[in-house]
Amino acid sequence: MATIAPPAPPAQKPSSGGRGDDSHLSPPRGYGDDGRGGGSAAFPLRRYYTGMWFALAPVVMLFTAFTSAYVVRQGLSEDWRPTDLPSILWWNSAVLLASSATMELARRRARGMRSGTAGGGLPASREEVDALRRWLLITSVLGVIFLAGQIVAWKELANRGIYVATNPSSSFFYLLTATHGLHLLGGVTALLTITLLVARRLTPGRRTGVAVTGIYWHFMDLLWIYVLVLMTVLK
């Protein structure tokens, strides 16, 4: 009795590279620790830069609102008495400018170093990593000195009998300097964190962390100069 054999299943077309059907699971090009492929990060590192600029936008809006309120309140009130700025603020400004310079030295050093995990090249030497860590620590220390100087400035005003509620001008002084100080404290925290991470292991992601932190730190420097000019010119 004749039988009919079932048709043979179609032969699977071999995939390139011998990886079978799992080739679609490989990460897309342009992704990874260095943003050029070969890593396991979920997104390119360039998005860290975009995220930082988006994070700075609310800070800009906040100080823009403070400036508008400052100008309007000064023009409409009869109880506005200019607040003489403590002299330590000028020394503080020099400290912050110096910290911006050391931050830039750290950022450039990190950019010129290789991690050895992507793009080829030998990993950075221990001496190079220590130098990077040293510049980051110096920047952090200068930031702490600046914050301590702000506290001294507030105490100097208090010794003169000038407090938050003394007059509108002093209220804005405390408000602007305290808000800037809180944001700078966040920058010091970020600096100390990235310093610890770099000391443990230098990776492309951590080098990018140094660069992104540098953007924030330079922005805080420029913001302080703006605040100081505002309180000096429009006092």
**SS3 letters for 133-172?**
HHHHHHHHHHHHHHHHHHHHHHHHHHHCCCCCCCCHHHHH
For 216, half-sphere exposure in the C-beta direction (CA atoms, 13 angstrom radius) is 28
Q: Which pLDDT does position 203 carry in this prediction?
A: 81
Q: Which pLDDT does position 122 carry in this prediction?
A: 54
The SS3 of residue 36 is coil
Q: Which pLDDT does position 143 carry in this prediction?
A: 97
Q: Which pLDDT does position 45 carry in this prediction?
A: 65
Q: Which pLDDT does position 28 carry in this prediction?
A: 38
Where do the domains of the chain lie, and which CATH numbers do they carry?
A: 46-233 (1.20.120.80)
Of 177, 176, 172, the C-alpha closest to 83 is 172
- Using CA atoms in the order 96, 106, 192, 87, what is the torsion angle rounded to 10 degrees? -10
Q: Which pLDDT does position 148 carry in this prediction?
A: 97
Q: Which pLDDT does position 44 carry in this prediction?
A: 56
**pLDDT tens for the 235 residues of the chain, in order:** 444 445 555 555 444 444 444 433 333 333 334 434 333 343 456 777 888 889 899 999 999 999 999 999 888 877 888 889 999 999 999 999 999 999 999 998 888 776 544 444 456 677 888 889 999 999 999 999 999 999 999 999 999 999 998 999 999 999 999 999 999 999 999 999 999 998 888 888 888 889 999 999 999 999 999 999 999 988 7
